[in-house]
Amino acid sequence: MDTILALCNEKTLRKLRPRLKKVQLDLKAVAKRSTLPKRLKETHPDLVLIDIAMPMVPGLETSIQLVRERAPTVPILITDVASCDVESLRRLVNQAAGEGHAGRPGEPPAELFHPNSGRIDAGRIAKFFDLPLARLARILGHSAQAVHKTPDAESLQDQLTVFVRIASVLLSLFGSAHKARIWLNAPNPDLDKLRPKELLERGKPEIIAELLEDAVLGHPG
Protein backbone atom coordinates (compact mmCIF):
# COMPACT_ATOMS: atom_id res chain seq x y z
CA MET A 1 0.00 0.00 0.00
CA ASP A 2 1.37 3.43 -0.96
CA THR A 3 1.66 6.13 1.68
CA ILE A 4 0.59 9.77 1.75
CA LEU A 5 1.98 12.04 4.44
CA ALA A 6 -0.39 14.95 5.09
CA LEU A 7 0.34 18.14 6.97
CA CYS A 8 -3.15 19.15 8.05
CA ASN A 9 -5.42 19.21 11.09
CA GLU A 10 -6.67 16.04 12.77
CA LYS A 11 -10.33 16.63 11.92
CA THR A 12 -9.54 16.64 8.21
CA LEU A 13 -7.38 13.55 8.54
CA ARG A 14 -10.14 11.56 10.26
CA LYS A 15 -12.51 12.27 7.37
CA LEU A 16 -9.96 11.54 4.64
CA ARG A 17 -8.28 8.40 5.97
CA PRO A 18 -11.16 5.90 5.39
CA ARG A 19 -11.68 7.20 1.84
CA LEU A 20 -8.00 6.76 1.00
CA LYS A 21 -7.93 3.18 2.26
CA LYS A 22 -10.51 2.30 -0.37
CA VAL A 23 -7.98 3.16 -3.07
CA GLN A 24 -5.07 1.45 -1.28
CA LEU A 25 -3.50 4.63 0.07
CA ASP A 26 -2.31 4.78 3.66
CA LEU A 27 -2.58 8.24 5.23
CA LYS A 28 -0.02 9.33 7.80
CA ALA A 29 -0.44 12.54 9.78
CA VAL A 30 1.83 15.46 10.58
CA ALA A 31 0.24 17.87 13.01
CA LYS A 32 3.29 20.11 13.53
CA ARG A 33 6.07 21.20 11.21
CA SER A 34 8.61 20.46 13.94
CA THR A 35 7.84 16.74 13.62
CA LEU A 36 7.91 16.69 9.80
CA PRO A 37 11.55 15.50 9.43
CA LYS A 38 10.96 12.60 11.83
CA ARG A 39 7.71 11.58 10.10
CA LEU A 40 9.36 11.70 6.68
CA LYS A 41 12.06 9.32 7.90
CA GLU A 42 9.55 6.99 9.54
CA THR A 43 6.97 6.80 6.77
CA HIS A 44 8.93 7.07 3.49
CA PRO A 45 5.85 8.62 1.80
CA ASP A 46 5.02 8.45 -1.89
CA LEU A 47 3.32 11.87 -1.79
CA VAL A 48 3.27 14.78 0.65
CA LEU A 49 0.11 16.87 0.99
CA ILE A 50 0.26 20.35 2.50
CA ASP A 51 -3.15 21.71 3.46
CA ILE A 52 -3.79 25.29 2.36
CA ALA A 53 -6.52 25.49 5.02
CA MET A 54 -3.99 24.97 7.79
CA PRO A 55 -2.41 28.11 9.31
CA MET A 56 1.01 28.08 7.70
CA VAL A 57 2.50 31.56 7.79
CA PRO A 58 5.38 31.93 8.21
CA GLY A 59 5.74 28.26 7.41
CA LEU A 60 4.81 27.10 3.91
CA GLU A 61 8.31 27.68 2.60
CA THR A 62 9.79 26.00 5.69
CA SER A 63 7.63 22.92 5.17
CA ILE A 64 8.62 22.68 1.50
CA GLN A 65 12.32 23.04 2.37
CA LEU A 66 12.07 20.31 5.01
CA VAL A 67 10.54 17.89 2.52
CA ARG A 68 13.08 18.76 -0.17
CA GLU A 69 16.00 18.31 2.22
CA ARG A 70 14.84 15.02 3.76
CA ALA A 71 13.02 13.47 0.80
CA PRO A 72 14.17 15.19 -2.41
CA THR A 73 12.40 12.74 -4.76
CA VAL A 74 8.99 12.84 -3.06
CA PRO A 75 6.34 14.97 -4.83
CA ILE A 76 4.54 17.71 -2.92
CA LEU A 77 0.97 18.83 -3.53
CA ILE A 78 -0.29 22.05 -1.95
CA THR A 79 -4.08 21.83 -1.97
CA ASP A 80 -7.29 21.94 0.01
CA VAL A 81 -6.92 18.50 1.55
CA ALA A 82 -10.55 18.28 2.71
CA SER A 83 -11.82 18.49 -0.88
CA CYS A 84 -9.32 16.07 -2.42
CA ASP A 85 -10.72 13.40 -4.70
CA VAL A 86 -9.14 10.13 -3.57
CA GLU A 87 -9.21 8.55 -7.03
CA SER A 88 -7.26 11.51 -8.35
CA LEU A 89 -4.73 11.23 -5.53
CA ARG A 90 -4.32 7.57 -6.45
CA ARG A 91 -3.57 8.59 -10.04
CA LEU A 92 -1.10 11.25 -8.90
CA VAL A 93 0.81 8.72 -6.81
CA ASN A 94 0.89 6.33 -9.77
CA GLN A 95 2.04 9.14 -12.06
CA ALA A 96 4.84 10.16 -9.72
CA ALA A 97 5.99 6.55 -9.41
CA GLY A 98 5.95 6.08 -13.16
CA GLU A 99 7.55 9.32 -14.25
CA GLY A 100 10.00 10.02 -11.45
CA HIS A 101 11.24 13.49 -10.61
CA ALA A 102 10.11 15.09 -13.86
CA GLY A 103 6.55 13.99 -13.28
CA ARG A 104 5.99 15.54 -9.88
CA PRO A 105 2.49 17.01 -9.65
CA GLY A 106 2.25 20.50 -8.28
CA GLU A 107 5.93 20.79 -7.39
CA PRO A 108 6.55 24.21 -5.77
CA PRO A 109 9.01 26.05 -8.07
CA ALA A 110 12.27 26.83 -6.28
CA GLU A 111 12.74 29.97 -8.39
CA LEU A 112 9.83 31.66 -6.56
CA PHE A 113 11.63 31.53 -3.22
CA HIS A 114 14.30 33.91 -1.94
CA PRO A 115 17.68 32.13 -2.01
CA ASN A 116 18.69 33.39 1.45
CA SER A 117 15.52 33.48 3.54
CA GLY A 118 13.75 30.60 1.76
CA ARG A 119 10.51 32.61 1.85
CA ILE A 120 8.31 33.33 -1.15
CA ASP A 121 9.73 36.32 -3.02
CA ALA A 122 7.29 38.88 -4.46
CA GLY A 123 9.85 40.02 -7.02
CA ARG A 124 10.23 36.49 -8.32
CA ILE A 125 6.45 36.03 -8.34
CA ALA A 126 6.08 39.24 -10.37
CA LYS A 127 8.67 38.00 -12.87
CA PHE A 128 7.04 34.59 -13.27
CA PHE A 129 3.59 36.09 -13.91
CA ASP A 130 4.98 38.96 -16.01
CA LEU A 131 3.49 41.55 -13.67
CA PRO A 132 5.13 44.86 -12.77
CA LEU A 133 6.12 44.70 -9.12
CA ALA A 134 4.11 47.83 -8.40
CA ARG A 135 0.98 46.18 -9.78
CA LEU A 136 1.58 43.03 -7.74
CA ALA A 137 2.00 45.23 -4.67
CA ARG A 138 -1.41 46.79 -5.34
CA ILE A 139 -2.95 43.33 -5.71
CA LEU A 140 -1.46 42.38 -2.34
CA GLY A 141 -2.62 45.64 -0.74
CA HIS A 142 0.88 46.82 0.12
CA SER A 143 2.91 49.79 -1.00
CA ALA A 144 5.24 49.31 -3.94
CA GLN A 145 8.09 50.76 -1.88
CA ALA A 146 7.64 48.24 0.92
CA VAL A 147 7.40 45.25 -1.42
CA HIS A 148 10.43 46.42 -3.41
CA LYS A 149 12.46 46.88 -0.21
CA THR A 150 11.58 43.49 1.31
CA PRO A 151 10.03 41.25 -1.36
CA ASP A 152 10.23 38.20 0.92
CA ALA A 153 8.69 39.85 4.00
CA GLU A 154 6.86 37.54 6.36
CA SER A 155 3.82 39.82 6.13
CA LEU A 156 3.51 38.94 2.42
CA GLN A 157 3.73 35.17 2.71
CA ASP A 158 0.05 34.38 3.24
CA GLN A 159 -1.04 36.36 0.17
CA LEU A 160 1.81 35.06 -2.00
CA THR A 161 1.02 31.41 -1.26
CA VAL A 162 -1.83 31.37 -3.78
CA PHE A 163 0.59 32.46 -6.53
CA VAL A 164 2.86 29.54 -5.65
CA ARG A 165 -0.14 27.21 -5.95
CA ILE A 166 -0.91 28.58 -9.42
CA ALA A 167 2.69 28.43 -10.64
CA SER A 168 3.15 24.90 -9.28
CA VAL A 169 0.23 23.49 -11.25
CA LEU A 170 1.04 25.48 -14.39
CA LEU A 171 4.59 24.15 -14.47
CA SER A 172 3.32 20.63 -13.82
CA LEU A 173 0.88 20.94 -16.73
CA PHE A 174 2.97 22.88 -19.25
CA GLY A 175 6.59 22.35 -18.25
CA SER A 176 7.90 25.91 -18.56
CA ALA A 177 7.21 29.45 -17.38
CA HIS A 178 6.88 30.60 -21.00
CA LYS A 179 4.10 28.12 -21.75
CA ALA A 180 2.47 28.96 -18.43
CA ARG A 181 2.32 32.64 -19.42
CA ILE A 182 0.74 31.70 -22.76
CA TRP A 183 -2.06 29.96 -20.83
CA LEU A 184 -2.43 32.94 -18.49
CA ASN A 185 -2.83 35.32 -21.44
CA ALA A 186 -5.24 33.22 -23.50
CA PRO A 187 -9.05 33.65 -23.25
CA ASN A 188 -10.38 30.81 -21.12
CA PRO A 189 -13.82 29.25 -21.76
CA ASP A 190 -14.10 28.27 -18.09
CA LEU A 191 -13.79 31.96 -17.17
CA ASP A 192 -16.34 33.32 -19.66
CA LYS A 193 -13.45 33.84 -22.10
CA LEU A 194 -11.61 36.13 -19.71
CA ARG A 195 -7.85 35.77 -19.64
CA PRO A 196 -6.67 34.21 -16.34
CA LYS A 197 -4.18 37.03 -16.00
CA GLU A 198 -7.04 39.53 -15.96
CA LEU A 199 -8.39 37.89 -12.80
CA LEU A 200 -4.94 38.00 -11.25
CA GLU A 201 -4.74 41.72 -11.97
CA ARG A 202 -8.19 42.19 -10.42
CA GLY A 203 -6.94 40.62 -7.20
CA LYS A 204 -8.74 37.27 -7.66
CA PRO A 205 -5.91 34.73 -7.89
CA GLU A 206 -7.84 32.24 -5.74
CA ILE A 207 -10.24 31.64 -8.66
CA ILE A 208 -7.33 30.68 -10.91
CA ALA A 209 -5.76 28.44 -8.27
CA GLU A 210 -9.02 26.56 -7.72
CA LEU A 211 -9.62 26.21 -11.47
CA LEU A 212 -6.18 24.66 -12.01
CA GLU A 213 -6.29 22.41 -8.94
CA ASP A 214 -9.72 21.14 -9.92
CA ALA A 215 -8.30 20.26 -13.33
CA VAL A 216 -5.32 18.38 -11.84
CA LEU A 217 -7.45 16.55 -9.27
CA GLY A 218 -10.13 15.62 -11.79
CA HIS A 219 -12.94 17.66 -10.26
CA PRO A 220 -15.70 18.77 -12.67
CA GLY A 221 -15.57 22.40 -13.75
Domain boundary among 46, 71, 103: 103
* pLDDT one-digit tens code per residue, 111-155: 899 988 889 999 999 999 999 999 999 999 999 999 999 999 999
Do 139 and 69 belong together in one domain? no
Assign residue 77 the CATH number of its domain.
3.40.50.2300
In total, how many domains does the chain have? 2
Question: Residue 58 pLDDT > 60, yes or no?
Answer: no
Question: Residue 189 pLDDT > 90, yes or no?
Answer: no
User: Is residue 14 in a domain?
Assistant: yes
Do 128 and 201 belong together in one domain? yes
| For range 190-210, the mean pLDDT | 91
- Supply the range of the domain harboring residue 153: 120-217
Report the candidate in 35, 44, 38 with the shortest Cα–Cα distance to residue 1.
Answer: 44
CA atoms of 66 and 135, how far apart (whole Å):
32
Per-residue pLDDT at 201: 93
Instruction: Give the pTM.
Output: 0.60
CA atoms of 53 and 109, how far apart (whole Å):
20
